Amino acid sequence: MADATNHLQVELVAADRLVWSGEASMVIARTTEGDLGVLPGHEPTLSVMVDGVVDVRTVDGETWVAAVSAGFFSVANNRVSILAESAEMSHDIDLEQARADLERARSAGEDDDDAQQRVRHAEARIRAVERAS
């Protein structure tokens, strides 16, 4: 196990549940300012996340990938809190269903804000599965 000063304590939380919690050596998430990578000792940060993928590299060398909706990303004292309206680990996502959801959302029309939100969410789910593969 890594020294406490060389790891991050990470919690990925959806509105309805804790999705993942553990120790990590690095976390990467997409924010409104672009991709944000966090290593141990990172400055305190609070960012707004956009629909996308979160990569968590554990202290054991594993990579966990999740699709997340918009939310907040907070870093303080080697603790990372990822708070999203929804979040799914890549291994829980049905790729064919995500592709079908994407096609349905695209066919709903570009002028529909809800449809565009569904497109971004479906794209994030597909990227999470593909990145984890």
- For 29-76, the pLDDT digits (tens) are 999 999 999 999 999 999 999 999 999 999 999 999 999 999 999 999
How far is the C-alpha of 70 from the C-alpha of 87, rounded, in Å? 9
Q: Which of 28, 16, 14 is nearest to 57 (CA)?
A: 28
Task: Determine the topology of domain 4-89 in CATH.
Answer: ATP Synthase; domain 1 (2.60.15)
Per-residue pLDDT band for 110 (boundaries 50, 70, 90) equals: low
Write down the pLDDT at residue 129.
Answer: 94
Helix (H) or strand (E) holding 20: strand 17-31
Instruction: Give the lowest-confidence range in 22-26, 81-85, 90-94, 103-107.
Output: 103-107
Write down the pLDDT at residue 3.
Answer: 45
Sequence spans of domains, the chain:
4-89, 92-132
Write down the pLDDT at residue 2.
Answer: 42
The answer to whether the beta carbons of residues 24 and 57 sit under 8 Å apart is: yes
* 106: pLDDT strictly greater than 60: yes
